[in-house]
Amino acid sequence: MVLERRETKVRKFWNWTEGTPERTLTLSGVIAEESWFDDEVTPQLFKEELMSGTGDITLWINSPGGDCIAAAQIYNMLMDYKGNVTVKIDGIAASAASVIAMAGTKVIMSPVSMLMIHNPMTMAMGDTKEMEKAISMLSEIKESIINAYELKTGMSRAKIARLMDAETWMDANKAMELGFADEMLQRDGDINTEAMLYSENTVSMKLWNKLKGKYQEKKQGRSVESLMRRLTLEEKFM
């Protein structure tokens, strides 16, 4: 009998750069397109590479997020690492990627980068019992994610939960104001920019107020309220 050894192909979303004063780790793209759930190879490989060296680490993040189980494991590994971990967000750290960012000893954001937090999501199928299990699982995952945000920001769990419910986008200044980031990545001098926080509700209200101020009076028989209703209808079908 001939036994064939099946090699597991690992789709890496991280990359190490050695030979510099500090070890550099880059996370880019979707985090674990194939879930780490029931996967022993990929997490072990990441841990082996992480622990293969010593000294401080600079972690560059540009990711829209991905698998929350993978993010949780990476977060735990980085928190357990003996050296300092400086996180630098040069593009986007959204969803699961924002959780990994919270493991940084220091979190630095580019002036043009964004950080986004929201509620965990999943796809489920089955009867009512299976749906109830999925809802319960998502609730527990949300609480675990809040743990990471709370530890970093010192913010109340209730406020963090509201920010997640609203799917909140933050620029560097707002992230620093709320405690998600510590510094802004810059070269010379201070950059004075207004802190911005985005959510679906606030964006809609700002647009409505802008329309209302510009078109205070009816124009060509169409009111601001009708424009808003039309905007709402269009958003529903986009």
Average model confidence (pLDDT) across the chain = 81
CA-to-CA distance for 94 and 119, rounded, in angstroms? 11
Name the residue among 80, 90, 88, 86 with its Cα closest to residue 56.
Answer: 86
Per-residue pLDDT reduced to its tens digit, 26-50: 999 999 887 676 677 788 899 999 9
Q: What are the tokens at 144?
A: 């675990």
Q: Which residue has the higher pLDDT, 32 or 99?
A: 99
pTM recorded for the entire structure: 0.75
Q: What is the pLDDT of residue 9?
A: 63
Name the residue among 30, 28, 84 with its Cα closest to residue 55.
Answer: 84
Mean pLDDT, to the nearest integer, of 110-127? 91
Q: What are the tokens at 216?
A: 């205070």
What are the chain's domains? Answer: 14-198 (3.90.226.10), 201-238 (no CATH)
Asked whether residue 110 carries a pLDDT value surpassing 60, the answer given is yes
Name the residue among 103, 107, 31 with its Cα closest to residue 65.
Answer: 31
Per-residue pLDDT reduced to its tens digit, 149-190: 999 999 999 999 999 999 999 999 999 999 999 999 976 544
Other Cβ atoms within 10 Å of 228 Cβ, number: 15
Most confident of 4-8, 81-85, 119-123: 81-85
Least confident segment among 80-84, 90-94, 216-220: 216-220
DSSP-assigned states of every residue in 39-105:
-SHHHHHHHHHHHTS-S-EEEEEEE--B-HHHHHHHHHHHHH-SS-EEEEEEEEEETHHHHHHTT-S
Name the residue among 41, 38, 37 with its Cα closest to residue 12.
Answer: 41
